[in-house]
Amino acid sequence: MSERIEIDAKMVEKYIIELAAFGAYADTGVWRTVYSPEWVAATDQYAQWCEEAGLRVRRDAVGNVWGRLEGTQGGKCIVSGSHIDSQTPGGRYDGALGALAGLIALRVLKEQFGQPKKPLEAVAFCEEESSRFPSANFWGSRAITGRIGPSDPDTVIGFGGETIAQAMREVGLDPARIPEAKREDIEAFIELHIEQGPILEQAGYPVAVVNAITGIRHYNVELTGMQNHAGAFPMDIRRDPMQGFAEIAAGVVNTAHRWGRPAVTTVGRVTAYPNGTAVVPSRVEFSIDARHPDPAKCEELYRTHERLMREVAERRNLGLEWTIQINHAACPSDPAIVDLLQGAARDQGVPALTMASGAGHDSQQMAAIARVAMIFVRSKDGRSHTPEEFSSLEDIVAGIRVLAEGLRRLAY
């Protein structure tokens, strides 16, 4: 058995509440988009807490904040953190909790175990939610992995029409220097995050070790038929895209349902044209969001959905086109770190499920340059992306203890 990691719950609560004050929205919400004044204030606070914890603070070219604890042996570093931006509005926990967890874990490890062998770093990523720039797409972690293209700063446009380059300049960052944010000295990255789903709550676990992040594909589909009078056109000669839509929407969801967890498929968006009560539509546009954490099964799920769409469109004599708007490969965690975190949880007496993440996370990006794994903390009612999201202080402390013990095993 390892030594028990001691976490001061009052300190954790203080950090959460004080960080939530930057961009506070209604009682428990947060509205903190990247490069906004609230975001600047939050990163300043995070940097100050890092300094108070005895970490060396650095801000990189896109505004990620790093706090570093040097190791006696040097070499590649072990990193933990998450994003500091929020949904509009979001809650206090999504992202922010992981950034704080990294900071708290390093502070506690330093206090309890002194200097590590390998360097340890905590990080607050500048952007993950795409809540100000819909195509920002993991701006913070993409900068670190060198995946921001040269034209991106001037082509990533905010909901208000501004480019992300303009927004960066307004907070004193130079878009031309983005390549400098790239790192090649990270050995492992562990991200703590709220679950955002109900699996831990229903299974009765405070914490999970995440063994994979789901692959995600977003289809934008258009079915076209023939617009007709809803009374004067007999059923048997219609070419009704709404019927094709109903069959496809039911079919793709039933496929995921039959496959069982962790497969999911969602039809969240639909628009009919002309959208009149007494008119057989000419066209129906809709989305399909399909996810699976196993790379091979993910591809099979996509193929199954595509087969159904083609079959329905052909049988119903409808036009069919689709574009793929998001396509993230499934990202298995590093098996050795998953084992190490499960061992850490057992040693710390924290019951921990092993599960896949159905949501995307910065860890997917970080996997391009480092071994990654995640820790989930139970979400009340599985909610997130809302001011009502909540995780108990007890569960949060349990999650940070697992994280800290995991970092200790990797760095000491």
- Smallest distance from a second copy to CB 335, Å: 22
For tokens 């492992």, the residue is 188
- Report the residue number, 163 or 220, with the smaller CB distance to a second copy: 220
Neighbouring CB atoms inside 10 A of 154's CB total: 12
Q: Which residues pair with 207 in a beta bridge?
A: 352, 377
Closest CB 329 distance from a second copy, rounded Å: 14
Dihedral of the CA atoms 339, 341, 345, 347 (nearest 10)?
Answer: 70
Nearer to a second copy, 261 or 310 (CB): 261
User: Which pair of structure tokens corresponds to residue 117?
Assistant: 């062998």
Is the Cβ of residue 175 or residue 206 nearer to a second copy in the bound state? Answer: 206
Least Å from the CB of residue 322 to a second copy:
13
At closest approach, how far in Å is the CB of 120 from a second copy?
Answer: 29
Contact positions toward a second copy, by CB under 8 A?
A: 195-199, 202, 214, 216, 218, 220, 228-237, 240, 242-243, 245-247, 249-250, 253, 256-257, 260-272, 275-281, 287, 289, 291, 325-326, 357-360, 382, 384-385
Nearer to a second copy, 103 or 356 (CB): 356
Shorter beta-carbon distance to a second copy: residue 181 or 208? 208
Residue 50 vs 396, nearer CB to a second copy: 396
| Shortest distance, position 369 Cβ to a second copy, whole Å | 24
CB of 215 to a second copy, least distance (A): 10
